[in-house]
């Protein structure tokens, strides 16, 4: 039956796991209803945009759960760089679609586009939140990224809502160019392999894991390298303004 609806037995098994269902022994004797549900699921799963919430981790979860998977209890249940979204009811999970199971918590990317503020947005929205109309809709230091369709938002992951605009950090790490990068990448963009991948006098900051990149904000993609301005890596200039006697609690 699933061969004509979902595509293959392995996909049918995935369908069962994702929905925490066992059609054959779960009392679902109405075959037509089962097929209709499977069709609706596949239509929704194949829509462009963020992935559907995935329940295959079960109530006890599994180690290193990927994005949009539940049920997690703490961020340590999730893959590197992800966090556990604690929620009530069917609260939206940033970067994921669907309601999931009421009360379940799901792994999410903290830099995922967040549409929970609605089409009118809200004041002082944080990074990667939308829908914004102007820079003043965003927190200080952030700007509103105007886009068409599902254009990638610098420093944010996921697809968000089509044609919505999102707040972003102009100095945030930008992974939108992919693992192979591109030529003449601007400051904070990656993944670079050598200085010549970066524009002008910028250089490629080689890093392990989520090492901070001078002059840039955010965590980016694990082990990716990003373009930076060497000036941002210099120590601050010596400050003699407190005078020969100094002053209490002088900064670096």
The most confident of the ranges 43-52, 119-128, 162-171 is: 162-171
Confidence of residue 205 (pLDDT cuts 50, 70, 90): very high
Q: Is the pLDDT of residue 250 over 80?
A: no
Q: What is the pLDDT of residue 48?
A: 56
User: Which range, of 31-40, 134-143, 203-212, averages the lowest pLDDT?
Assistant: 31-40
Q: What is the DSSP letter of 226?
A: E
User: Which range, of 107-121, 136-150, 183-197, averages the lowest pLDDT?
Assistant: 107-121
Judged on CB neighbours under 10 Å (0-12, 13-18, 19+), 93 is buried
41 compared with 140, residue with greater pLDDT: 140
Nearest by Cα to 82 from 50, 52, 109: 109
pTM for the model stands at 0.59
- Report yes or no: 18 and 54 within 8 Å, Cβ to Cβ: yes
Q: What is the pLDDT of residues 90-138, one digit of tens each?
A: 888 888 888 889 999 999 888 888 888 888 878 899 999 989 999 999 9
Q: Sign (positive/negative) of CA torsion 14, 17, 20, 21? A: positive
Q: What is the pLDDT of residue 16?
A: 52
Q: Following DSSP, what letter does each residue of 24-79 receive, concatenated?
A: TTTT---HHHHHHHHHHHHHHHTSSSSPBPB-TT-TT--TTB-TTBB--SSGGGBP
Q: Is the pLDDT of residue 184 over 70?
A: yes
How far, in Å, are 10, 12, 19, 45, 135 from residue 31 at the CA level? 19, 14, 17, 21, 52
User: Which range, of 17-26, 185-194, 197-206, averages the lowest pLDDT?
Assistant: 17-26
- Report yes or no: 144 and 166 within 8 Å, Cβ to Cβ: yes
- Report yes or no: 118 and 92 within 8 Å, Cβ to Cβ: no
């Amino acid at each position: 039956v699933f061969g004509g609806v979902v595509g293959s037995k392995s996909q049918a098994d995935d369908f069962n796991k994702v929905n925490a269902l066992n059609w054959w022994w779960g009392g679902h004797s109405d075959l037509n209803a089962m097929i209709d549900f499977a069709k609706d699921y596949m239509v929704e799963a194949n829509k462009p945009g963020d992935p559907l919430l995935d329940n295959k981790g079960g109530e006890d979860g599994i180690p290193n759960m990927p994005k949009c998977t539940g049920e997690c209890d703490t961020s340590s249940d999730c893959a590197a760089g992800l966090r556990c979204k604690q929620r009530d009811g069917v609260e939206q999970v940033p970067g994921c679609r669907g309601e999931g199971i009421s009360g379940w918590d799901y792994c999410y990317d903290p830099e995922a586009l967040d549409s929970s503020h609605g089409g009118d947005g809200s004041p002082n929205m944080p990074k990667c939140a939308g829908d914004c109309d102007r820079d003043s809709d965003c927190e200080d230091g952030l700007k509103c990224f105007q886009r068409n369709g599902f254009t990638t938002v610098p420093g944010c992951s996921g697809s968000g809502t089509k044609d919505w605009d999102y707040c972003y950090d102009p100095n945030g790490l930008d992974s939108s160019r992919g693992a192979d990068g591109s030529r003449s990448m601007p400051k904070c963009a990656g993944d670079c392999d050598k200085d010549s991948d970066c524009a002008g006098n910028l250089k490629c900051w080689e890093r392990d894991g989520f090492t901070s990149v001078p002059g840039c904000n955010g965590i980016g993609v694990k082990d990716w390298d990003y373009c930076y301005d060497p000036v941002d890596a210099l120590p601050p200039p010596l400050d003699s303004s407190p005078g020969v006697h100094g002053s209490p609690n002088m900064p670096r």
